[in-house]
Amino acid sequence: MHYRPSVLQHQTFHVVYRHVPAAFTMDWTDGFLLKPFASPNYHFVYAFSQLKSSRDDGSAKLTLSFQEGRGHEAELVEHVRIFLLFNVLL
C-alpha cells in the first residue's frame, strides 16, 4: 500500500479587512483572494508573484504588500492589513 500525503491546494480564513468581515483565501493556483461575506465580488485577487512582502505580529495581525510590474517599474499597489478571526471552542 502506498501512502500519498494530501497536498494543501488552498486555505481560507475568516478575517476583518477595513472593518468588514471577509473570507481570505490563499490558493496555489489563484493566489491571494479577499471576498467580503456580504458581497458577491472579490475585493482583490493577487498572484503569488505580486507579493512583495509580508509580516505578522505572531498573534492575529497579518500585513501583505503587493506590487505590479517587475524590476525598476514595480509599483506598490496595495498594502493589506488583515485581522484573523479565531474560532474558540469552550
Encode pLDDT of 46-87 as tens digits.
999 888 888 888 888 888 888 876 666 667 677 788 787 754
| Residue 20 resides in a domain | yes
**Does residue 32 belong to any structural domain of this protein?**
yes
Residue 26 lies in a domain: yes
Instruction: For residue 30, give Cα distances in angstroms to 9, 20, 33, 72, 85.
Output: 10, 22, 8, 25, 23
Distance of CA 2 to the CA centre of its chain: 34
- Residue 31 lies inside a defined structural domain of this protein: yes
Residue 4 in any domain: the answer is: no
Provide the whole-model pTM.
0.75
Judge whether 19 lies within some domain: yes
In the predicted model, what is the mean pLDDT of the chain? 81
Range of the domain at 20: 10-84
- C-alpha cell of residue 7: 497536498
Q: Domain tally for the chain? A: 1
Count other Cβ atoms within 10 Å, centred on residue 37.
9
Q: Would you say residue 90 lies in a domain?
A: no
pLDDT value at 30 more than 90? yes
pLDDT at 61: 84
CATH of the domain at 74: 2.30.29.30
